[in-house]
Amino acid sequence: MSTVESVNLRNNLITIEDPPVARFLFGDVRLSWLWLIIRLYMGYAWLAAGWAKVTNPAWVGAQSGTALTGFVNGALQQATGAHPNVQGWYAWFLQNMVLPGASVWGWIVAFGELLVGIGLILGIFTGIAAFFGSIMNVNYLLAGSISTNPLLFIFATWIVLAWKTAGWIGLDRWVLPALGTPWHPGYTFRGREK
């Protein structure tokens, strides 16, 4: 049997092991300090952006949707020409799915950014927070907004890969063993399996 793969013939399961460098980078708690630095940077960026939106009535409040409508209209202006910054399919999504519900989407964006920031700073559900942050980054990039989105997307991808250890210096150190994962329940739910 190769050291690269292990085979469970009874379940017809083939598992390919991660290379040592990937196990070290994404699965070793000795690098938790690195993930903490990246998490805090990302978390602050998301928290600041979310807080600015949550406290702005053009995002959440009496005029909710106004700011998002302006952002979307700016993106739609970039969807024309020989080499548009915003692709036609995404412009269609913005025009037909986002603009009609701009008020609701404004609340989702504002509180989504805020929750991602809180999750990353506290190190709770770190992989999930980073995943949803990356989804927002991709949407901003598709809408033609560069800013810090490429860097935040790269960091979010790394945090998602390191989900087991990225929150080790944070609340995940206690939450993940307690709750577990869908494929392996934590100690809180093990008594209920029987």
6: left (phi over 0), alpha (psi -120 to 50) or beta: beta
The Cα–Cα gap between 140 and 137 comes to: 5
The reply to whether 83 falls in a domain is yes
Place of tokens 């379940």: 11
The reply to whether 188 falls in a domain is no
Tokens of 47: 């928290």
Mean predicted confidence (pLDDT) in 26-43: 96
Which residue range is the domain that position 35 belongs to? 30-173
The reply to whether 12 falls in a domain is no
Number of domains in the chain: 1
- Beta-bridge partners for 158: none
Low-confidence winner among 95-99, 146-150, 176-180 (lowest mean pLDDT): 176-180
**What 3-state DSSP class applies to 148?**
coil
Ordered DSSP codes for 79-95: T-SSS-SS-HHHHHHII
Place of tokens 């805090």: 40
The reply to whether 22 falls in a domain is no
Tokens of 153: 């997307």
State the pLDDT at residue 2: 47
What residues contact 3, with CB distance under 8 A and at least 6 apart?
17
Could you report the per-residue pLDDT of 50-101, keeping only the tens digit for each? 999 999 999 999 999 999 999 999 999 999 999 999 999 999 999 999 999 9
The Cα–Cα gap between 84 and 77 comes to: 9
Return the number of other C-beta atoms located less than 10 Å from residue 118's C-beta: 16
The reply to whether 11 falls in a domain is no
State the pLDDT at residue 184: 85
Mean predicted confidence (pLDDT) in 140-169: 96
The reply to whether 102 falls in a domain is yes
Q: How far is CA 110 from the centre of its chain?
A: 14
Place of tokens 């970039």: 78
Strands 13-16 vs 180-181: parallel, antiparallel or unpaired: unpaired
What does pTM read for this prediction? 0.88
Q: Residue 109 in contact with residue 68, Cβ under 8 Å?
A: yes
Return the number of other C-beta atoms located less than 10 Å from residue 71's C-beta: 21
The reply to whether 10 falls in a domain is no
The reply to whether 138 falls in a domain is yes
